[in-house]
């Protein structure tokens, strides 16, 4: 999909007739159907991917078929409506959050302009409150007294194919970033609503390939990229060799090794493509330097979890590999790499779904002796927590001037910020490894951070314009510090970000790179016995 030119999009965002530029739609939203055309929807899941997932024990992904969102007939099962309404009823009974969020919204509009999709597209249905109303209207119609008696007057509407199509469109224009939830007086989290919508859509076979393919890969090969064990190992070996070439220090790492103290799991994207590769090199250098007794796993070779973007069952099934592998290998605890949605699952879901991990020990750094009580139950800690603790105890020697080619800023990924509260560990690390880094404006960082615009499996090329629009608030904040402070590097702790922000920067702010915090750690690390060349670009230097 050819992406619209920068000048054109810049104009269109500001001047195009949209609710965010002041043009008020004259039609009621219920009378405005969703129209699919190339570029405004992510491709439907391939038949074989849906079939594969459906064939797995414990999973249900029915109605695999050839179809396309821009065709009229979506080939839904005959009783699709009963399935959806029944599915909604079940979820209302299973999730208090859903009930409360359906009942309590007062349409105050505090969330309206907090969503990056709304800011970038101006589409009124991208206001979080509207997104939720798409479901709420059906909920009113079938599950509330007022809706049953008063119908449309009370904001109720019947479930129709048109409504279902609208759900599809707008639940895939939400990255479940939770920014809206921060501003809502009742904490209504439209991400939860989006999750429910996506679950409901899967019940009738409506899903996108960019999510279901990685998810099925992850189930089979252990990681989203579909790297088979030998390839996964090759990739890591290759990175280890690179580190050795650059620093002169031989990297000792292992795979599926029983009896290691630590199992290390990171998103497979880190060993697959730039710039994530450099972050992975940073991990390798760091672990080597401190002599950590750890192993990679090819079976649990994915930190991320695209199940989170489909339904609870798949999320649980994919996540379960982590504990299963930790148990099989007999490690003491798990360290997780840099990734946003991965940590949403690890922090808020894993223990509940797949715990208790009583075969593991409360994480205790063998280097500093620190006991990580905050992970006393999950037994899994974040690489930034681990690294910050090492720095605090002076276990690492840095030469921050090795990062002097970098003038960095820091992007809080949605999930660590708003679903975990991990904000200052990466900043603490940055303070020690780079001489120059600055914050973006305060309404765009920490709990108010803006999404990259392509999370929750929307990192697919066919919706590039949508992604660039949704990423605009983030890109704009970066531009601010580029103009003001000559920033040339956007650091983050998220593998999806490393991919998506790269496209975003190339589009809106060409010349600004993207890196993981661990890459900057690796750059600045003074290693024992090193024989380092002049690395003008740190771990990225070509030698």
| Residues between 1 and 60 with contacts to other proteins, criterion CB under 8 A | 10, 13-14, 19-22, 24-25, 29, 56-58
Q: Which of ligand SF4, other proteins, none sits in contact with 131, Cβ below 5 to 8 A by type?
A: ligand SF4
| 144 binding other proteins? (CB under 8 A) | yes
When asked if residue 452 is in the footprint of ligand SF4 (CB under 6 A), the reply is no
Binding residues for ligand SF4, how many (CB under 6 A)? 27
Biggest CA–CA distance in the chain, Å, is: 78
By CB under 8 A, the count of residues binding other proteins is 122
Q: Which long-range contacts (CB under 8 A, 24 or more apart) does 386-389 make?
A: 386/335, 387/286, 387/425, 387/429, 387/518, 387/521, 388/425, 388/428, 388/429, 389/365
* Alpha-carbon span 65 to 59, nearest angstrom: 17
Dist. CA 328–CA 320, nearest whole Å = 12
Considering beta carbons, is residue 194 or 297 the nearer one to ligand SF4? 194
Q: Tell me the pairing of strands 408-411 and 380-382.
A: unpaired
Q: Which region, judged by CB under 8 A, interacts with other proteins, from 43-51, 244-252, 451-459, 468-476? A: 468-476
Question: Is residue 157 involved in binding ligand SF4 (CB under 6 A)?
Answer: no
Q: What is the 3-state secondary structure (H, E, C) of 256-311?
A: CCCCCCEEEECCHHHHCCCCHHHHHHHHHHHHHHHCCCEEECCCCCCCCCHHHHCC
Q: What's 323-384 look like in SS3?
A: HHHHHHHCCCEEEECCCHHHHHHHHHCHHHHHCCCCCCCCCECCCCCCECHHHCCCCEEEHH
Q: Give which of ligand SF4, other proteins, none residue 299 binds (C-beta under 5 to 8 Å, depending on kind).
A: other proteins
Strand partners, 295: 263
Compute the distance between CA of residue 320 and CA of residue 315 in angstroms, rounded to an integer.
9
CB closer to other proteins, 94 vs 250: 94
The residues pairing with 410 across neighbouring beta strands, listed in sequence order, are: 491
Residue 94 near other proteins by CB under 8 A: yes
Find the binder of ligand SF4 among 17, 38, 62, 109 (CB under 6 A). 109
Q: Does 341 bind ligand SF4 (CB under 6 A)?
A: no
> Helices 209-221 and 312-329 sit at what angle, rounded to 10 degrees?
30
Does 496 engage in binding with ligand SF4 (CB under 6 A)?
Answer: no
Which range in 73-81, 277-285, 420-428, 495-503 contacts other proteins by CB under 8 A? 420-428
Binding mask 358-397 for other proteins (x = CB under 8 A): ------------x-xxxxxxx-x----x--xx--x-----
Q: Contact with ligand SF4 (CB under 6 A): which of 83, 84, 98, 105?
A: 105
Q: Could you tell me if 305 and 269 are in contact, meaning their C-beta atoms sit under 8 angstroms apart?
A: no
19 binds ligand SF4 (CB under 6 A): no
| Residue 101 vs 168, nearer CB to other proteins | 101
Q: How far is the CB of 447 from other proteins (least distance, A)?
A: 4
Which among 80-88, 168-176, 188-196, 521-529 is the span making contact with other proteins, rule CB under 8 A?
188-196
Q: Calculate the alpha carbon distances from 352 to 5, 347, 372 in Å.
A: 46, 10, 19
Least separation, in Å, of the C-beta of 73 and other proteins?
A: 31
Q: What six digits make up the tokens of 243? A: 């580190």
User: With the C-alpha atoms ordered 179, 269, 405, 538, is the resulting torsion angle positive or negative?
Assistant: positive
| Site membership for other proteins, residue 320 (CB under 8 A) | yes
Binding at 490: pick from ligand SF4, other proteins, none (beta carbon under 5-8 Å per type): none
Q: With 0-12 CB in 10 A as exposed, 13-18 as middle and 19+ as buried, what is 82?
A: exposed
Residues 460-479 interacting with ligand SF4 (rule: CB under 6 A):
none
Element (H, E) at 411: strand 408-411
Q: Does 188 bind ligand SF4 (CB under 6 A)?
A: yes
Q: Does 541 bind other proteins (CB under 8 A)?
A: no
111 counts as binding ligand SF4 under rule CB under 6 A: yes
**What burial letters (b/e) apply to 414-448, b meaning 16+ CB within 10 Å?**
bbbbbbbebbebbbbbbebbbebbeebeeebbbeb
435 is an interface residue for other proteins by CB under 8 A: no
Choose among ligand SF4, other proteins, none what residue 37 binds, the Cβ cut-off being 5 to 8 Å by kind. none
Residues paired with residue 411 on neighbouring β-strands, in sequence order: 492
Q: Which stretch binds ligand SF4 (CB under 6 A): 108-116, 139-147, 160-168, 433-441?
A: 108-116
CA distance 440 to 482: 10
State yes or no: residue 131 binds ligand SF4 (CB under 6 A): yes
- Per CB under 8 A, contacts with other proteins among 256-315 are 256-258, 298-299, 313
The residues that touch ligand SF4, with contacts defined as CB under 6 A, are 105-111, 114-115, 117, 128-129, 131, 174-180, 184-186, 188, 190-191, 194
């Amino acid at each position: 999909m050819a992406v619209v030119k920068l000048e054109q999009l810049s104009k269109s965002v500001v001047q195009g007739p949209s609710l965010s530029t002041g043009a008020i739609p004259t039609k009621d939203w219920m009378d405005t159907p969703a129209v699919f055309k190339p570029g405004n929807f992510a491709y439907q899941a391939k038949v074989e991917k849906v079939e594969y997932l459906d064939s797995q024990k414990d999973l249900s992904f029915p109605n695999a078929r050839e179809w396309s969102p821009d065709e009229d007939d979506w080939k839904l099962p005959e009783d699709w409506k009963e399935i959806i309404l029944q599915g909604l009823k079940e979820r209302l009974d299973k999730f208090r959050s859903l009930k409360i969020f359906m009942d309590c919204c007062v349409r105050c509009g505090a969330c309206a302009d907090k969503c990056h999709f709304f800011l970038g597209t101006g589409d009124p249905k991208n206001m979080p409150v509207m997104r939720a109303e798409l479901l709420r209207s059906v909920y009113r119609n079938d599950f509330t007294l007022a809706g049953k008696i008063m119908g449309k007057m009370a904001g109720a509407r019947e479930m129709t194919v048109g409504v279902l199509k609208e759900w599809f469109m707008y639940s895939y224009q939400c990255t479940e970033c939770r920014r809206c939830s921060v501003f809502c007086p009742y904490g209504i989290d439209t991400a939860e609503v989006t999750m429910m919508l996506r679950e409901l859509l899967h019940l009738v076979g409506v899903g996108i390939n960019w999510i279901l393919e990685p998810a099925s890969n992850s189930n089979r090969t252990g990681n989203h990229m579909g790297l088979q064990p030998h390839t996964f190992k090759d990739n890591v070996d290759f990175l280890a060799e690179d580190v050795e070439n650059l620093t002169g220090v031989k990297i000792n790492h292992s795979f599926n090794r029983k009896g290691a103290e630590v199992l290390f799991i990171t998103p497979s994207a880190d060993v697959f493509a730039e710039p994530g590769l450099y972050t992975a090199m940073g991990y390798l250098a760091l672990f080597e330097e401190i002599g950590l007794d750890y192993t990679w796993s090819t079976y649990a070779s994915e930190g991320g979890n695209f199940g989170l973007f489909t339904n609870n069952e798949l999320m649980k099934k994919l996540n379960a590999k982590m504990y299963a592998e930790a148990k099989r290998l007999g490690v003491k605890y798990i360290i997780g790499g840099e990734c946003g949605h991965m940590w949403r699952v690890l922090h808020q879901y894993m223990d509940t779904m797949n715990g208790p991990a009583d075969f593991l020990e409360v994480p205790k750094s063998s280097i500093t002796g620190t006991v990580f009580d905050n992970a006393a139950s999950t037994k899994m800690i974040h690489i930034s927590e681990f690294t910050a603790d090492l720095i605090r105890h002076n276990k690492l020697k840095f030469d921050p001037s090795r990062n002097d080619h970098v003038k960095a800023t820091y992007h809080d990924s949605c999930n660590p910020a708003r679903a975990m509260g991990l904000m200052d560990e990466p900043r603490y690390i940055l303070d020690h490894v780079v001489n120059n880094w600055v914050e973006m404006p305060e309404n765009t960082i920490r709990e108010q951070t803006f999404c990259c615009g392509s999370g929750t499996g929307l990192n697919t090329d066919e919706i590039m314009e949508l992604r660039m629009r949704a990423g605009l608030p983030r890109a704009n904040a970066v531009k601010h510090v580029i103009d003001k402070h000559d920033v040339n590097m956007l650091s983050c702790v998220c593998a999806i970000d490393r991919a998506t922000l790269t496209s975003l920067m190339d589009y809106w702010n060409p010349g600004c790179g993207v890196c993981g915090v661990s890459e900057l750690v690796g750059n600045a690390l003074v290693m024992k016995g090193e024989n380092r060349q002049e690395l003008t670009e740190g771990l990225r230097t070509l030698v």
